[in-house]
Amino acid sequence: MQYREIGQSGIQASVVGLGAWALGGGSWWGPTDDDESVRAIQAGLDAGINLIDTAPGYGWGRSEEVVGRAVKGRRDDVVLSTKCGVWWQDDRGAPFFEAAGRKVKRCLRPETICEEVELSLQRLDTDRIDLYFTHWPAVEPDPTPIAVTMECLMDLKQQGKIRAIGASNVSLTQMDEYRAAGVLDANQPRYSMLDRTIEAEVLPYCQEHGISICAYTPLEQGLLTGKIGMDRQLSEGEVRNGIPWFKPANRQRVLDLLAGWADLTEAHHCTLSQLVIAWTVAQPGLTFALCGARKPDHVRENAGGGGIHLAPDELARMREDVEALGKPV
C-alpha cells in the first residue's frame, strides 16, 4: 500500500480509502448486514487501508455508527473522514431532497455544524475527526458565506475536534473562498476513468495549491470491476440507474474495454478492479481513491490496487483506450 499526506496536514493516509456510503444501506443500497460491514472494515485495516470516509447522511447516521464499531480498539491506526452540511434535524437550511420521511436540507451554518460534529463524534465513538468535509455547498435561500463556515471549522480545528478540513463538490471559486478564510487540505469530487471532468480545471488547481483529491466513485459504482455483466438487472430506485454508463449499450462498451486489458491484469497478477485503482491513483494530482465495498473480500481486493505500480506506457495505453471510448450515448 502507498501512503500520501492529506494536503499539508501531516496526516498520512492510504491511497486506497474505504468509501462507506453503501454501509448505511437504505433505499439507495438496499439491505445491508452491519456485522459483515464491520468485518469488511477490519479486513481493510488488516490489508493496509487506513482511510475510511463516511458521512451522517449515509443511512441517517448508521454508516458512522458501523465505522465506529469497526475501529474500536484501533482508533490510532485509522484516518477517519466524515462530513457536515446535509441536515435533517429541523427546518434550518435550504431544501435539498426528501427521503425515508425526512426533509433533507443543505446547511452550513456554524450552529448546525457544531451540532453535527458532536453527533458524529458520538456515532464514531471518538474524540476527534481526522478529516472533516463540507458535503455540499450552501445555497439559496440559506447561503451561509464560506468565510463564516470556514471560521467555524477553523475553530473546531483549534479545539482539536477535527484535524484537517476538506470541501466536497465545490468549484474553483468556492475553493478560493475557503483558502482565503483558512486552510483547505482536501477536495472530494467525483472521478473515474469514465468521468474525468475534474481534469480540466480542478486537478491542476488542487495540485498548484497543495490540496489533496479524495475521489469518490473511482470504480463507477462497480461497473469498472468487470463483475456487473449484461445479465445484471438493476432494481427500481437503485443509485446505478442514474448513471448513463449502466444503460445496456454503454455497459457493453465498457465491458469490451475491460476485456482488452487481460494482458495487463495477467502481467501484474491482479484483478480488473486493482488495475483500474492503480491507474486512478497514478493520475497527476489524484491523491486518494475512495472505493466503496461491503464485503471483506471486496475490500481486500481493492486494497491490493494500492500496491500496484503501472509503467508509463501502460498508463498511456489505458488512457488512450478510455479516451477512445468517448461519452455514453
Task: Specify the CATH architecture of the domain 3-84+110-325.
Answer: Alpha-Beta Barrel (3.20)
Nearest alpha carbon to residue 178 among 85, 116, 104, 114: 85
* Percent of the chain scoring above 70 in pLDDT: 99
Using only C-alpha atoms, what is the Rg of the chain?
Answer: 19
pLDDT digits (tens, 9 = 90+) for 282-303: 999 999 999 999 999 999 999 9
The pLDDT of residue 29 is 75
Q: Which residues of 16-52 are buried (b: 16+ CB within 10 A; e: fewer)?
A: bbbbbbbbbbbeebeebebeebbbbbbbbbebbbbbb
pLDDT class of 241 with cuts at 50, 70, 90? confident
Dump pLDDT digits (tens) for 145-201: 999 999 999 999 999 999 999 999 999 999 999 999 999 999 999 999 999 999 999
Is residue 25's pLDDT more than 90? no
Catalytically active residues are 58
Measured at the alpha carbon of residue 60, what is the angle toward residues 59 and 66, in degrees to the nearest 5? 60
Q: Where are the alpha helices (DSSP H) in 182-311?
A: 202-209, 248-259, 262-267, 272-281, 296-304
Nearest to 276 by CA among 228, 200, 325, 220: 220
Q: Is the pLDDT of residue 206 over 90?
A: yes
Helix, coil or strand: residue 246: helix
Cell of 6: 492529506
Classify the C-alpha dihedral 315-319-320-322 as positive or negative.
Answer: positive
Longest dimension (CA), the chain: 56
Query: Which cell is 32 given?
Result: 445491508
* Position 230 confidence tier, pLDDT thresholds 50, 70, 90: confident
Q: Quote the CA–CA distance of 232 and 122 in Å, as a whole number.
A: 39
Distance CA 248, CA 251 (A): 5
| Res 228: pLDDT | 87
Which cell numbers in the block locate residue 79? Answer: 484516518
Residue 236 has pLDDT above 80, yes or no: no
pLDDT at 210 over 80: yes
pLDDT digits 0-9 by tens, 104-140: 999 999 999 999 999 999 999 999 999 999 999 999 9
- Three cell numbers written together for 257: 474495454
* pLDDT score of 30 more than 80: no
Enumerate the domain spans of the chain.
3-84+110-325
